[in-house]
Amino acid sequence: MSKFGNSRAGKAMAGSLVAGGAAFGIGSGIIKGLQDTKDFCLNPGKAAENAGANFGKNLLNIFGGLGDVIFNAAGYKTPEESMKEQVTLINQKYRTSFDSFTMSFASAQASFDEDVVSTMEAMNQTNHAIEFYYKEMLQEEIDLNTMRIIFLFLIILVIYIFLIIKK
């Protein structure tokens, strides 16, 4: 075991190493962002270019809108305008994908609904068939019992007449 072991000094040293590592990670992320030419927020070159282009464009716009005319004729886009175009393109792609997914979901939902309705119709037909079967079975039982009652009544009547005649 080291001389620090589980002591407070050892824990403090370990905590400071972890904090130093985290700070190094954050610092390297910021440096990477500064070097990234696509990063419009952290790159000072892009920020300076954007400020300079906007200043020049607005200065020329003071003289009758020449800034917009010259910059548009040259095809120059500030980093801000480039970012807006990228955001617009991403939004359009997202909207297209979202609409496609929505249509796919709607068609799947419609076919599911049709399946549910057809299943319910089949269940309803089955229930009617079962109901008809039980009604027919009950009616046959009633008819058979009626025949038995009539037959027994006739037999009892015949026996009764036979007993009356025999006396």
Residues 29-44: tens digit of each pLDDT: 555 554 555 555 666 6
- Per-residue pLDDT for 1 more than 50? no
Q: Are the C-beta atoms of 53 and 63 separated by less than 8 Å?
A: no
Q: Report d(CA 157, CA 26) in Å as an integer.
A: 111
- Please calculate the CA angle 89-90-94 and round it to the nearest 5 degrees: 120
Q: What integer pLDDT is reported at residue 27 of this predicted model?
A: 55
